[in-house]
A = this chain, B = another copy of it.
Amino acid sequence: MTKTVNQYGINFSAIERSDTETAQEWVYRALRYAVMSGQVQPGMALTIRGIANMLCVSAMPAREALWRLTSEGALHLKANRRVEVPTMSPAKLSEVLQLRILLETHAAERALPYVTEEILSQMAILNELQNEALRRQDPEQTIIQNQAFHRCLYEAHPNPVSMPLIEGLWLQLGPLHRLALSNMEDHYFTDRHVEVIKAVETQNPFGLKVAIESDIREGAGYATQTELLEQYARGEAPLDLPEGEFVEGLLKQ
């Protein structure tokens, strides 16, 4: 594993480059993580050369990584062939959340019969990790561990065909998650994951679906406050970026 630092002195601690993976794969993971954890603001343009220079690779890996993320819906290809972080309207957000509920309750129900003791204990561990991240006000890790919890359940199914679709929706919501979490401390927080685990333990499909749906609604609920969302759509919301220079690095070479 090589630890990589870009030309601005920013440390990609979470996206180290494995010795076996290709440059393109690494750029893809780094960019995906940046989008997923809300480090790039909607409406921001991502240029090939900017990304290539920031990560110290040629244009080729950057180009292909951008195409992949665009195909997955994480980024948006504008008419002038420039790539930017997609914006989100309240109506669109509502649709995405409905799709999340539809697909994830389905995935959970399908996975239920295949959940083993090991998977169950793994889910408990991931939930605890998320709670820790939440306690120490770490938005990125909270997001990551929450997704890991859900993924762990859904992938219990031997044919998790819906998993890529669900990940695509998570990716679209990525920029919003930080906004949601930045206001999270103001709210009381019921741990729906415990209810999910309980429903799995008792092999209760209906209870599981209810718990999943509640978890999704509440997790995103903080972002649905209209005034915040509209700020976000205009790119005005103060996303409380941990490393503002990272964002500039993405834009400017």
Contact = CB atoms under 8 A, between A and B. Distances in A.
A68 B165 CA distance: 15
Contact of A158 (B64, B70, B91, B96): B91
A95 to B, nearest CB: 4
A235 to B, nearest CB: 20
Copy total for this chain: 2
A161 B99 contact: yes
Counting chain A residues whose Cβ lies within 8 A of the other chain, the interface size class is 20 to 34
Given A72-B71, A102-B106, A159 B63 contact: no
B159 A91 contact: yes
Nearest to A105: B102
Contacts of A95: 110, 159, 161-162
Interface in A33-75: 63-64, 67-68, 70-73
A73 B164 contact: yes
Contacts of A64: 63-64, 67
Contacts of A158: 91
A81 B21 CA distance: 11
Contacts of A165: 99, 165, 168
A113 to B, nearest CB: 14
A210 interface: no
A103 interface: yes
A187 interface: no
Contacts of A110: 95, 98
A92 interface: yes
Contacts of A68: 67-68, 70-71
A73 to B, nearest CB: 6
Interface of A: 22, 63-64, 67-68, 70-73, 81, 89, 91-92, 94-96, 98-99, 102-103, 106, 110, 158-159, 161-162, 164-165, 168
14 contacts: A22-B81, A64-B64, A67-B67, A67-B71, A71-B71, A71-B72, A73-B164, A89-B159, A91-B158, A92-B159, A95-B162, A99-B103, A99-B106, A99-B162
Shortest Cβ-Cβ A-B pairs, 8 listed: A71-B71, A95-B161, A68-B71, A95-B159, A165-B165, A67-B67, A92-B159, A91-B159
